[in-house]
Every structure is written in C-alpha cells, then in structure tokens.
Amino acid sequence: MTNRTDIAIIGAGIAGLALALGLHKRGLNSRIYEAAPELKELGVGITILPHAMRELTTLGVGDKVAAAGVTNEVSAFFNRFGQLLYEEPRGREAGYSHPEAGIHRGRLHSILYDAAKAQLGEANILTNRRCAGLSQDADGVTLCFEETSSGARLPDVRAKLVLACDGINSAVRRQFYPGEELGFEGINTWRGVARHRPILGGHTYIRIGSIKTGKLVIYPIIDDVDGDGNQLINWTSEAPMAGRPKNDWNKPGKLEDFLPTYENWHFDWLDVPQFLSNSDVILEYPMVDRDPVRRWTFGRVTLVGDAAHAMYPRGSNGCAQALIDARVLADVLARAENPEAALRAYEDARLGPTTKIVLTNRTTPPDFINVKVEELTGDAPFDNLDRYISQSELKALSDNYKRVAGFGRQDVK
C-alpha cells in the first residue's frame, strides 16, 4: 500500500515546522515525516536575531517566542583577560523593529510544534518515520520509510514534492551527495546552562576570548528561573583540541574535558570556572559544517535549512537562514504553476546568500573582533586599546557580518 500527499516535508525541526506553517498560511497542504519516535524539548540555548524574529512574527508566534526567552539589549566582546573590547546595542535597543532574544531551543521548538499541531492537525505530523530512500519519475516522488524504533519497513509514500528539512545529517541529501563528509577542523564545543545572578545587567550577549586560545559565549535564556532572581544562562565553549577526535552529538559532556582552558578566567564581573562548574547540564558537540554545493534541487526534491547549508554555529545565523528558506520556498510554491520551476527559483534566490554566510562563518564571523584584537595585542592585556585598533574599526567588522548575514538594520523591516 502506498500513501499519498501533495507535499512531503522530511524533518520536524525548526525548518520543517516553519515551512509547514508557511505553506498552510498560503493555502498549501503538507505532511511532515520525522525520524524521532517522539518530539521532546532537547538542547540548550539558541539566539533569535531580528531577521529570525521577523520570520517567526510572520508565522504568528513571534510574541510567544520573545516572551519565552530573554531579550538581548547589548552585545559585548571581551578578551580572555576580561577586558572589554567592543560593545553595541542589539535588537530594539539598536533601532530594529523586532527584538533579539535568547531562548531554550526546546521552548522554541515546542512553540512551533504546538502551532503546527493546531493548524495542520496532528495527523499531518508523523513521527518514528526514518527516510530510507527515494525515487522519482515525471509525476512525483516515492519515499521509502522505516520505523525508527524497530527498523520495520513502513508503507511507501507518494508525494508531488519532497522538501528535505532533516538537518546537517540529512538522509535526503545523502541520496544526492553519497560520499560527502562533514567539515571538521579540530574544534570541539561544549554547551550547557547554569543558574546565576544576571551578568552585566542580564540582557547582554557576551563573547570572551577567541577560537585560537579558547572562546566562551554566554547569554541568558530564562528570567528568574528559581524565584530568587537568578537567570538560566546558556554558555558555549569552543576550544581547539589538536589531535582529539570529533565530539559526539548532543551527548552528556564532561567538565574536565574543557575546564582547563578557562582555569585562569577570574574577572571582577564573572568567575568563569565557578560559573561553568555550577552548570545544570553539559552537552558536547563537534564544530562542523558542510562545504557549499552548487545544487540543492533535483527534480521534485529540494533541500532546506541545515540540510542545504549547514554552517558553523557562529553568529547565531543557522536558525535565521532556515526560517528565511522556509518563507522564500513557501512564497514561490504559492505562486508557481510549475512546482519544479518553483524549487529552482527557491534555489536561485537562496543558494548564493547562504553560501556566502557559510564561508564567512569560517573566516570572519562576529568574534573575528576577538581574533583581531588578540593578534594586534600579542594576546596580552592592554592599557589603551585605541593604540592598536579604534572602536570605529571594530564597529565596521561587526557591521560587515550583519550585511553578509542579512540583518543590517536597513535589511530587517
């Protein structure tokens, strides 16, 4: 027996749910197939930049997302000696029409999942379905599925279009790029959350150190988490580990694997080793991306979000670009007479900009500010930073990344 649907979305992550909501808003029916046996609140923090919040607002969930997190009002860059290098206003404080916020990734996912269940109906969000292959002809695509929990073969699904939103390890992408490897350059990451008094006012996105000597990103994701005024604060450690194998994905991490990098980071505004040692959760991840490719669309199948353009988690842009993909793809499908031409139009619109971001995240991400100052000062404390580089030069580095990533203030309406 073969089941049928107009549009099959593979993956019920942020990209897949947003795409399904966008299609529904435009009067197009879709069905989501998710490999996980059930959808749970997983992960740690994620930053929603103003252009991502714009997309979520268009889907009708922007206010819920902002209320579930903590707004970022300032972005601050420090060296590994705790000295301020540069700071700038963010979100509405910087004049954007949408806020910037940190939120638990699980909360964001739940908000989108609840909206999708309400609008599409739970019958159109099928879990425990692992895509095991596909084939297509002139009239459509045949999808093969296995039950993830048992490995049992499930009935095939026949779809007019397949939109692959199944992440960095996309099974659909593997059909078209079977020998492809993830890009890993020896940098591992650990992520976690800790309860702490608000740091630097409680609305600051903080980057400390550089990828060359050890970097830490810190931002709050839940206000007054315990009724005593403490915030739940997300942190991400990035450390070069020459010769160490690639970390596993979303697995429990060990403090001793990375804490030595930060053992001397005792600042008058934060005791970093103590902060990290008080973490509620520690997870490990590899820092990986994929080389840009020249093609996402193959007949009636296309790639979306991380399946199309997985990027280093620098600059908080992966989520935003997936949400923009979803909106652009929904728009062209709603207007199209020829669905295959619509998929090509989506690719034409999105492949170039996202390729540039992937490459920029490798070379000059936002924390390039930290790298630049570290090089100029010889990785030593400074008396007067202006002797090495001006604040206007640092601002130019920050503004350049915003332009590349599409969230300069003039770009977000």
| CATH number, domain containing residue 328 | 3.50.50.60
> Do 32 and 126 form a contact (C-beta atoms < 8 A)?
yes
pLDDT (mean) for 23-47: 92
Residue 376 counted as domain residue? yes
Please write the tens of the pLDDT for every residue from 127-186.
999 999 999 999 999 999 999 999 999 999 999 999 999 999 999 999 999 999 988 877
Q: ∠ CA(406), CA(31), CA(161), 5° rounding?
A: 70
76 residue type, one letter: A
**Within 13 Å of residue 336, how many CA atoms lie on the same side as its CB?**
18
Cα–Cα distance, 120 to 112 (Å, whole number): 12
Query: Mean pLDDT across the stretch 249-258?
Result: 88
Tokens of 251: 């697995």
Per-residue pLDDT tens over the stretch 210-238: 988 889 999 999 999 999 999 999 999 99
What's the pLDDT at 184?
Answer: 81
Are 209 and 230 contained in the same domain? yes
- Confidence at 2, pLDDT banded by 50, 70, 90: low
Any domain includes 155:
yes
Are residues 222 and 309 located together in one domain of the fold?
A: no
Q: Are residues 356 and 370 in the same domain?
A: no
How many residues are recorded in the chain?
413
Q: What's the pLDDT tens digit per position in 51-77?
A: 999 999 999 999 999 999 999 999 999
Backbone angles phi, psi at 3, to 5 degrees: -85, 155
- The reported pLDDT for the residue numbered 131 is 97
- Pair 217, 302 in one domain: no
pLDDT of residue 243: 65
Is 374 part of a structural domain of the chain?
yes
**Who contacts 239 (Cβ-Cβ below 8 Å, separation ≥6)?**
187, 188, 189, 214, 215, 258, 261
How much is the pTM? 0.95
Per-residue pLDDT, 42: 75
Is 118 found in the same domain as 6?
yes
For the chain, what percent of residues have pLDDT higher than 70? Answer: 99
CATH number of the structural domain spanning residue 231: 3.30.9.30
Domain span at residue 254 reads 70-99+183-290+366-411
The answer as to whether 50 is a domain residue is no
- How confident is the model at residue 251, as a pLDDT? 87
pLDDT digits 0-9 by tens, 103-122: 999 999 999 999 999 999 99
Is 54 within a domain?
A: no
Report the number of distinct structural domains present in the chain: 2
